[in-house]
Amino acid sequence: MVKKIILGIVILLVVVIGGFVFYVQLNWNKIYEIPYPDLQVSTDSTVIERGKYLVHGPAHCSNCHVGSVAEMIAADAGENIPLKGGVPFNMGALGTMYPRNLTSDSETGIARYSDKEMFRMMRHVVKPDGTGTLIVLMPFWNMANEDLVAVVSYLRTMAPFNNEVPDNDWTFVGKAVRVLASSFQPISNPSPAPVSPPMEATIARGEYVSRYLANCVGCHTNRDPMTFEAIGPEYAGGMEFEPWPEFALAVGGDPETWMRTPNITPHPNSALSKFKTVEEWKARFRQGRLINISQMHWGPFSRMTDKDLEALYLYLTSLEPSDYDAGELMFKK
């Protein structure tokens, strides 16, 4: 009798686990049917200039889509590195991701993709091949139409660089998370505005830059380390970053130190409240990176316009103060 019960449980487990494995294998790289946005690239030089500012400034594409850690450091410091992709992003238990080649190379870059495939990627976070990806890495779905057009128009002008980027390498856990977590599902209903708030010191511009261009909210909110879903109040910090030894060693930092984002709501103890005036705030951004192993894209952000920095300050200081304790900024496990 007991033997039969145990056998029954074992069979049930095999069926359930087998079914789950089968389900994940079937769906982890599924193709999404998402319509293409109705937008057109432009060859107008002011549009292209606008795109250049976004790519190398607030939207910081230029810091991620490079070929190596050394190039990432050079790009942060302001060197014009070709966006040829390929630097490995270690995603812990999930696997490894590789930012792709954004130059106009016809074999390995974005010249392989139509304009509408590019627009859909940015608007819905569906890759040109129709598969999904980690949406918090590319959180640009509500970038205004005019800015999205500017970004893609600028990318089209970049000189080709032949560099074959390896395919992402997902572990089974990574594949399962891709199937189950909302942070890997495409954005089916974005709500972009046709034009962005004008580049002026307004709260509306600050919110736009913070949410839809610079991803301040993405990093300065505590997130589950596996699924990247928010587990703390917005802008109150606490997101943890695993050490990246190769990066740390290249900048002379400690390869075992973890980091957490600080609270940037206007609470008296927050990192924002250190800056009493907008002038101090701008001066901090112009300094760029002070903590060498910081994940923050200080270089591109230091190259934002005065108006965008002022708008960010106005917006962040207008938020509800949160007394959330983000924890120690730097720590070891």
Instruction: Pick one of 296, 311, 314, 326: the residue that binds ligand HEC (CB under 6 A).
Output: 296
Q: Is 220 in the site for ligand HEC (CB under 6 A)?
A: yes
What's the token pair of residue 58? 């607030």
* CA separation for the pair 317, 40 (Å, rounded): 37
Which residues, 76 to 105, sit near ligand HEC by CB under 6 A? 89, 97, 99-100, 102
As measured in angstroms, the least distance from the Cβ of 296 to ligand HEC is 4
| Residues 275/283, Cβ–Cβ less than 8 Å | no
Q: How many residues bind ligand HEC (CB under 6 A)?
A: 44
Give whichever of 7 and 107 is closer to ligand HEC, judged by the CB atom.
107
> Using the rule CB under 6 A, is 272 a contact of ligand HEC?
yes
Binding mask 32-51 for ligand HEC (x = CB under 6 A): --------------------
160, amino acid identity: P
Nearest-approach distance from CB 162 to ligand HEC, in angstroms: 14
CB 91 within 8 A of CB 174: yes
Tell whether residue 64 is a contact of ligand HEC (CB under 6 A). yes
Burial zone of 68 (CB within 10 Å; 0-12 exposed, 13-18 middle, 19+ buried)? middle
Q: Which of 168, 196, 263, 317 binds ligand HEC (CB under 6 A)?
A: 168
User: Which residue pairs, CB below 8 angstroms and at least 24 apart, start in 318-322?
Assistant: 318/203, 318/206, 318/266, 319/235, 319/265, 319/266, 320/265, 321/265, 321/266, 321/267, 321/268, 321/270, 322/233, 322/235, 322/236, 322/263, 322/265, 322/267, 322/270
Q: Which of 34, 138, 193, 203 binds ligand HEC (CB under 6 A)?
A: 138
Name which of residues 5 to 34 contact ligand HEC (CB under 6 A).
none
- Cβ proximity to ligand HEC: between 13 and 114 the closer is 114
Instruction: Tell me how crowded residue 214 is: count the other CB atoms within 10 A of its CB.
Output: 24
Only one residue has tokens 């040109």, namely 128
Nearer to ligand HEC, 280 or 323 (CB): 280
Q: What whole-number distance in Å separates Cα of residue 190 and Cα of residue 331?
A: 37
Q: Is 116 in the site for ligand HEC (CB under 6 A)?
A: no
Pairwise CA distance, residues 264 & 322, whole Å: 9
In the shown chain, the binding pattern of residues 179 to 218 toward ligand HEC, with x for contact by CB under 6 A and - for none, equals -------------------------------x---xxx-x
* Distance from C-alpha of 173 to C-alpha of 167, rounded to nearest angstrom: 17
Structure tokens given for 251:
């900048």
Q: Of the candidates 128, 160, 190, 266, which one interacts with ligand HEC according to CB under 6 A?
A: 128
Residues 262 and 220 sit within 8 Å (Cβ to Cβ): yes
CB 22 to ligand HEC: min, Å: 23
Angle at the Cα of 7 (from 4 to 9), degrees rounded to 5?
110
In the complex, the smallest distance separating the C-beta of residue 18 from ligand HEC, rounded to whole angstroms, is 27
CA pair distance 93, 106, nearest whole angstrom: 33
Among 91, 121, 314, 326, binds ligand HEC (CB under 6 A): 121
Among the listed residues 74, 111, 137, 173, the single contact to ligand HEC using CB under 6 A: 137
CA within 13 Å, CB half, 76: 21
CB 132 within 8 Å of CB 184: yes
Which C-beta is closer to ligand HEC: that of 38 or that of 290? 290
Sites of contact with ligand HEC (CB under 6 A): 55, 59-61, 64-65, 89, 97, 99-100, 102, 118, 121, 127-128, 133, 137-138, 140, 151, 168, 210, 214-216, 218-220, 259, 261-262, 264, 271-272, 284, 290-291, 294-297, 301, 312, 329
